[in-house]
Amino acid sequence: MGPFRTLYLDMNSFFASVEQQLDPTIRGRPVAITAMENEKGCCVAASYEAKAFGIKTGTSVPDARRLCPGIVFLPSRHRLYVRYNLRVAAVLDRFAELERIRSVDEFQLGLSGEATTLPGARDLVTSLKAAVAAEVGACLRFSAGIGPNHLLAKIAGKLEKPDGCQWLGPENMPDRIAHLALDDLPGISRKMRARLEAAGITTMTRLCQLDPRHARAIWRSVEGERFVRALQGEHIPLLDTQRGGYGNSKVLAPEFRRPQEAYMVSRWLIEKATARLRRDGRTAARFTLQLAPMGAATIAGSIKCAPSQDTLTFMRINRGLWRAAWPKIRHMKLAMIGVNLTEVEMLSNRSGDLLRPLRPGELSRAERASKAADFINARFGAGTISLGLNQPHPGFFERG
C-alpha cells in the first residue's frame, strides 16, 4: 500500500475554535462568527456545537438565533485567525515538510521516510494532533487526509470530521468515495457537474474511470486531464500560478450603502490594492469597478491605461467610472462594490517613456510618492497617510 506522498490537514471549525480557545466560558457552547455586528449579517463560521443545530456558513443571524436561541455571536477577527494559522504552521513544520499553507485553515505537508507508509503516516498524524493541542491549544483540532497526491489527500481529509484521519489510494478507490456527489469534490462546480453529466459522467465511479484525454475535452482544458489523473492516484504536482490581478471587494454595511459613502469606500479599497501592487513590484494596465445595487443588476466599468502602480492614477480612473454610473445609482443603495487592477506585469519589464522622460523599469515621480506613503504607513500604522479622503470599511479581513 502506498507510497503516500501528501498529508492534508483541515482545521475543524477553525475560527470558532480559536475564539473558544481564548475564552473558556464559551467552550462546549454553540458559537457563530459573523461578518457584521448587526442582525442583518450572516454566519461566516460556526462551532460544531452550533452546526448540530443546522447552523452553517451563510446562515443569517436571525435564522441562527431561531435555530439555536442560546447561540453566542462573535465578530470575525481575521488577523487573529491568521496569527493562529502561523502558530499551527510552525508546529507542523517541525515534524514534516510544510509544502503549502493552502488557506487560513488548511495545510499541505509532504511525506517522506516511514511516513510514506500508512502506519507511519497515521503515527505522524497522532504526533501532530498532540503537538498542536499542547503548543497552540486543546480546542484546535483538525481532520487529516493521507494520499499519493494533494487531490486525494484533500478529499480524504473531508471524509471524517471532526478530528478524523482517513486515507485514499488506488487500493480503496473509487469505492471509498462512491457515495459522494460529483460536486462534492474540490474543483468541480455545479456548472462543471452539469457538463460532466451532459457527457454521461453521472457517478463518482464513472468519473474515476474516465479516460484522462476525454476529461481534457470535457473540461476544455488540460486541467481536466490533470484532475482525473490525480483522482486515479498519479502524482500530479500543483502548478505555481501567476497572479493576474490585484483587487478588493466589500459587502457594504448598512451605513455605507448610499453611493456617496460607497464611493469613499472604493477609494480606500484602491489604496489597499495599489499598496499590494507596489509591494510585489508590479504594475497594472487596466482598472475595473463593480457596483452591485440592491435588487438590481451589477454595473461594471473598465478602462485601460498605461502600466502604473500609482494610487492617484487609479483614483482618477475610479472617479470617472463613478461619474459614468452616477445617473443609474444616485437614488439606489449599493450592496457591494469592488475594484480590480489587472493586466499585471513586473515593473522591471515596463518600457521607458521618452516624453516623460522615464527609463525602462524606473518609478515615476507620482509612484515614488505612493511608495513613500507605503513606507510611512508600514512604520507608523495603516492610514497614517492617505492620498485624499477615503472611508475605511474594516470587516472580515481587517479586524483582530
Alpha-carbon distance of 259 to 368, in angstroms, equals 31
Instruction: Identify the H or E element spanning 338.
Output: strand 334-346
Residue 296 φ/ψ, nearest 5 degrees: -140, 170
Beta-bridged to residue 89, according to DSSP, are none
The length of the chain in residues reads 400
Grid coordinates representing 182 are 460529483
Q: Considering 106, 234, 261, 343, which one is annotated as catalytic?
A: 106
Query: Could you tell me which residues come within 8 angstroms of residue 299 by beta carbon, excluding any fewer than 6 positions away?
Result: 290, 291, 292, 293, 325, 328, 329
332: cell is: 439606489
Q: Is-catalytic flag, 106?
A: yes
> Which residues make beta-bridge pairs with 178?
none
Any idea of the CA torsion for 78, 82, 87, 88, to the nearest 10 degrees? 90
- Reading the block at residue 111, the C-alpha cell is 511525506
In Å, how far are 57, 101, 125, 272, 324 from 340, measured between CA atoms? 26, 25, 40, 11, 17
Quickly list H helices, the chain: 14-22, 48-51, 61-67, 78-95, 118-135, 150-157, 190-198, 204-208, 212-219, 222-231, 259-279, 311-329, 365-380
Phi-psi region of 58 (alpha: psi -120 to 50; beta: other; left: phi over 0): left
The set of catalytic residues is 106
